[in-house]
Structure 1
Amino acid sequence: MNHLRLFLLSIVVLTSANMLPAGDWPHWRGPNDLGAAEPGQSPPAEFSDTQNVLWKTPVPGRGHSSPTIIGDKVFLTTADVAAQTQSVLCFDRQTGKPVWSTIVNTGGLPREIHSHNTHATPTVACDAQQLFVVFNNHESAQLAALDLNGKILWKKQGPFSPEQYKFGYGPSPLLYDDLVIVAAEYEKGYIVALNKKNGDVAWKIDRPQISFSSPVVANIAGRDQMLISGLGKVCSFDPKSGKQLWAVDGPAIATCGTLVWQGDTVFASGGYPEKETMAVKADGSGKVLWRQGVRCYEQSLVAADGYVYAVSDDGIGYCWNAETGEEMWKKRLGGSVSSSPTLVGDLIYLFNERGKCFVFKTNPEKFELVAENQLGDEAYASPSFCDGKMFMRTADSTDGTRRETLYCIGE
């Protein structure tokens, strides 16, 4: 990795809204919100269920939430459809041993969701004092706050009952200053910000159309902006008030990925029914730098050193010039993809749905594969990286029974 990227990533980490200790992965897309690990890490590029495994531990139930790592703990969510429960799980970061499990909800799980979704898909968010989780149950999006020992501090529920696309729920909670922000987009949808301490509503905006993206806050073009795609627009809001700052048409009505940015440019992709990846100036000018007819529906993008790296739903990797949209290369990796790529140094780690992990370099001149690895036979979560280790949730059904495992990969 070059020195400029090391410096820029260090600044992002040090100036984040929630000043968490270095070495944690506190929420969806990591400490800098860009799907990038903190600088200076060298996790193994080669691994398997027996190679470079520091520990592995069974995960009960079913879920797609990615690992959240805080201090000496790792957090996941899970659901048990037979028992009709949705829970938060805590594991020891050094050993993988279970520490505690808290049932947040019993009953009311949606009868119908997408076959690629679960009843525990959003990733846990943590501000080093509280955990925040969202579950879909009782025709609602339920937000719960817990302490780090698993005690439920408060719960709030808002309506979430899609009529046409009964695909379930996906967005992860977003933390900003003293707020926790939740997207619940459907025919009568909304984004709502609540006070972390007690769940009181601070602001709410209408978002009446089905979509599944998690919002993200970036300090870009001289101000904090809450960014989200979906509903046929890329939108920016003031995270303090919910006031819309600007909106640009594209990339699709329904999206799942979280926006990324570099400099004052935002990159978005989707979706359904349209398929498009685009770059937009985030200064309110409405300027669209480029559009590409490529669909990255479920997964997010990665931006690094003036280039955008993406993997489409059908497993084709792309590299585009961030300013011009020029295609630098494309490469079929193989298999369908739902997991998001994660940047670690000058390497990108990308899992397909069959548990194969492609590790390749951020090289705009050519596709440069470093390793192919197999971990289980099902992967929908995205990997988290701390202290030179990879934490990843996968499943395996080779013996006819589906079982989930949380891995810690390292040397």
Structure 2
Amino acid sequence: MSSRSWLLALLVFGCVPFAAAETTAPRVEGFTPAATDWPWWRGPSNNGIAVADQDPPVTWSETENVIWKTPIPGRGHSCATVVGDRVFLTTADEEKELLAVVCLSRKTGELLWRSDVHQGGMEKKGHKKSSQASSTVACDGQQVYFNFLHQGNMVTTALDLEGKQVWQTKVVGFATHQGFGSSPALFGSLVYVTADSKTGGVLAALSRERGEIIWQAHRPEKPNYASPIVLHVAGKDQLLVSGCDLASGFHPKTGEKFWEIEGATTECVTTMVTDGSRVFVSGGYPRKHVQAIEADGSGKTAWENNVQVYVPSMIVKDGYLYAIQDGGVASCWKSSDGEEKWKERVGGTFSASLTLVGDKLYGINEAGTSFVFRANPEKFEKLAENKLPGEAFATPTICGGQIFLRIAEHKEGKRQEMVYCLGKKN
């Protein structure tokens, strides 16, 4: 039996093991990501896990294992989206009040095009760590989708692969508190976006083809920053979102609410992950917590602790939950009951999320220092520590044996964002 047939049989009979649940890719009509793609936020399987059959470098520097390094205009915290031979990022020129998407050649790093999406009307408020281009691009092989704040609204736009606008939809008014960073998710024929603020918000499903809103669910009048995600959990595909003091699961096609519990804190940034039966949420304000929720509609919390994993999203592998706290402490818990297996201070402050390749976890702190450590529940095992000059808020993208890092360098009093493509040279 082929691996695909084996997985389908398991899905039909409802006995998906942890490993299968962690690597099931979302079904996007008309698009199957290649093994060398990273097509949207949290990667091809929506869980921060890269395709295992690759060998990216473990060590690097300004000169070691650098394939190319390219300056990009403006400022942003979105991570690189890689499909085929192209790399996409959102960016913002705050002086010119310009919001744009840039496209680079994956092979050389050459800037292929820049599409200016919004001019003027840029949001001026927000936390000092936030950016006006924190929403990561999603790509279905034909179009790219992304969110920006513009003139007090959250706006979703689709471009073709040459940077020409296909459609643009004003989704909802938005009152900025700390900032905005929610990235779109793709499933079936739809693109999902969310925007939570003190004036109220929505979780909306838009047509990928035309941009009209197919369905929407109204959200509380509270600030929040989490991105929606579609995961196969508790035997079915669920559209998940946390924050606003809620954790919720929806039917991706219809918007029917499968379940919702009061539990997640008000302000969440991390994106949910699953071990196949539970979903894991975390937040940082007004309380700090990591919470495991049974996603079968029972509304039960399996376990909870008071650890602050506010911004960096977590990873589940083989029944264990791995996290880096904002304050630079790496942790491992048993996903079924929350038993702490280990914790270790790695250093620095983290905003970027973890990325997993095989049994190696990659994380980068705000000072540009990357840590590679083993996804090993028995002990913390650091494999490497690498430093690039500058600051880093964007999550590492790893695909096709390459690592894409977005770093902001400061030289001669000027700030310049760079994209590094790291890989082993033949």
The RMSD of aligned alpha carbons is: 1.7
In the alignment, what sits opposite 1:42?
55
Question: For residues 111 and 275 of structure 1, do their structure 2 counterparts lie closer, same or farther at Cα, with a shift above 3 Å needed?
Answer: same
Shift of 1:210: 1.1
- Note if contact 1:136-1:168 (Cα within 8 Å) is conserved in structure 2: no
- Note if contact 1:9-1:32 (Cα within 8 Å) is conserved in structure 2: no
In the alignment, what sits opposite 1:197?
209
Residue in structure 2 matching 1:160, options 173, 177, 198: 173
Tell me which moved more, 4-13 or 319-328.
4-13
Question: For residues 14 and 300 of structure 1, do their structure 2 counterparts lie closer, same or farther at Cα, with a shift above 3 Å needed?
Answer: closer
Pairwise mapping of residues 263-278 of structure 1 onto structure 2 (< 5 A)? 263-278=276-291
In the alignment, what sits opposite 1:177?
188
The one-letter amino acid of 2:215's match is: W
Question: For residues 82 and 154 of structure 1, do their structure 2 counterparts lie closer, same or farther at Cα, with a shift above 3 Å needed?
Answer: same
Identical-pair percentage: 43
TM-score by length of 1: 0.95
Pairwise mapping of residues 56-205 of structure 1 onto structure 2 (< 5 A)? 56-162=69-175, 166-187=177-198, 188-205=200-217
> How many angstroms apart in 2 are the aligned matches of 1:54 and 1:127?
26
- 1:195-223 Cα distance to aligned partner (Å, 9 max, x none): 11111110111112211000100122222
> How many angstroms apart in 1 are the aligned matches of 2:275 and 2:28?
15
> How many angstroms apart in 2 are the aligned matches of 1:7 and 1:116?
35
The one-letter amino acid of 1:260's match is: V
Do structure 1's residue 397 and structure 2's residue 397 form an aligned pair? no
Unaligned runs of 5+ in 2: 1-15
Shift of 1:337: 0.6
TM-score by length of 2: 0.92
The one-letter amino acid of 2:352's match is: S
- Note if contact 1:75-1:124 (Cα within 8 Å) is conserved in structure 2: yes
- 1:153-206 Cα distance to aligned partner (Å, 9 max, x none): 1111133332xx622211001111111111011122111111111111101111
Count matched residues. 406
In the alignment, what sits opposite 1:335?
348
> How many angstroms apart in 2 are the aligned matches of 1:355 and 1:250?
34
- 1:84-116 Cα distance to aligned partner (Å, 9 max, x none): 110010000010011011000000001211111
Do structure 1's residue 364 and structure 2's residue 368 form an aligned pair? no
- Note if contact 1:10-1:39 (Cα within 8 Å) is conserved in structure 2: no
In the alignment, what sits opposite 1:25?
38
> How many angstroms apart in 2 are the aligned matches of 1:9 and 1:376?
37
Residue in structure 1 matching 2:24, options 12, 15, 31: 12
Shift of 1:41: 1.4
Shift of 1:296: 0.9
In the alignment, what sits opposite 1:221?
234
- 1:235-272 Cα distance to aligned partner (Å, 9 max, x none): 10111121211122323111000000112111111121
Unaligned runs of 5+ in 1: none
The one-letter amino acid of 1:365's match is: E
Shift of 1:12: 1.5
SS in 1 for 2:412: coil
Tell me which moved more, 370-379 or 68-77.
370-379
> How many angstroms apart in 1 are the aligned matches of 2:297 and 2:22?
27
